[in-house]
Amino acid sequence: KATVMVVDKTGTITKGKPEVTSVTSFSDLDETEILSILSTLESKSEHPIAHAIQTYAKEKDIQTKSISDFSIIEGVGLRGSIDGVTFTAGNTRVLKGMSEDFDVATVEQEASKGNTPVILRNETQVIGVVYVADKIKEQAIQSVEKLHLLGKKVMMLTGDMQGTGEYIAQKVGIDTVIAQVMPEDKLRVIKDLQTQGEIVAMAGDGVNDAPALAQANVGIAMGSGTDVAIESAGMTLLAGDIGKLPEAVKLSRITMQ
C-alpha cells in the first residue's frame, strides 16, 4: 500500500564506503598536517566518512596526534583540542559563528559533482577542506526504475549538502531530494508525509535513521547497516541489497493476494 519510498543516501543508495578524492588547504598548513589533525578528530567517530579519512591518512603514513575535550556535535561534525588548539570538522554548519568570511562557492561547486566536503577550522579560520565521494550501488538505478513502474514515488533524505544530494538523485532517477537534514528532520519528514495522507516506506541503515524507520508505516533496514536500524525496522534487505526493494513490494502484493 505504500505510496512513497523514502531512502537514505549513504549506505542505502550509495555503497557507504566513501573515499577521499582531494585535499585543499586554505591556510599555511600543508596537506599532511591537515590530514593529521582531521584523522585525529575522525578517529573518535564511527561514520563512514571518518573511516574514509582515516584509511587515506594511513595509506599516506600520516600519524594521528593526541586529542582532548572531544565532542560530537549532532548533525554538524566533531570538535576537539589538539596541541592546545580547538579544531572543528564537519559540514558547512561548522562555519556558523566564524569571525572570518569563507567563500562557500568553491565547496558548493565540488558538492554539485558528488563530492562531500569535510571542512576543518580552528576558532577563527578555515584550515582546509577534504572532499570525499561515495560510489552509487550498481542496483540503485534499476531499483528506482522498478519502483516507479510499481507506481511508487521515491524521495531521498540526506544529511549531505544539497548539491551532492541532487547529483546522486539525478544519477539514480530519484524524484525528490531533501538535503542537510538532521536525524530529527528525517522523523519530521516522515510524519509530514503521513499527515498529507501518504503511506510511507522508509529504507535506511544508520543510527540516525532509526527514529524515522520506527515512525514509517514500513521500516526497511539494510542488512549491512547498524543493529539499531535493523531492530527499528520491520523488514531487512539482506546484504544491504537495494535491488531487493521492488522485489519486497511484489512479494508483499502476492502474499496479500
CA 148 to chain centroid:
24
Mean per-residue pLDDT, 12-34:
92
Looking at this protein, which amino acid is placed at residue 50?
Answer: A
The contacts of residue 188 (CB under 8 Å, 6+ apart) are none
Torsion, Cα 106 107 109 111, to 10 degrees, reads 170
Q: Report residue 195 as a C-alpha cell.
A: 499527515
The answer to whether the predicted template modeling score (pTM) of the entire model surpasses 0.85 is no
The pLDDT score that the predictor gives to residue 104 is 85
**To which residue does cell 513502474 refer?**
149
User: Using CA atoms, how far apart are residues 53 and 35, in angstroms rounded to an integer?
Assistant: 8
**To which residue does cell 596541541 refer?**
83
User: Using CA atoms, how far apart are residues 134 and 29, in angstroms rounded to an integer?
Assistant: 26
Average pLDDT, the chain: 92
Which residue of the set 8, 134, 160, 209 is catalytic?
A: 8
**Residue 139 pLDDT exceeds 80:** yes
| 162-172 and 138-149 helices, crossing angle to 10° | 70
Total residue length of the chain: 257
User: Active site includes 8?
Assistant: yes
21 or 75, higher pLDDT:
21
The contacts of residue 230 (CB under 8 Å, 6+ apart) are 221, 223, 236
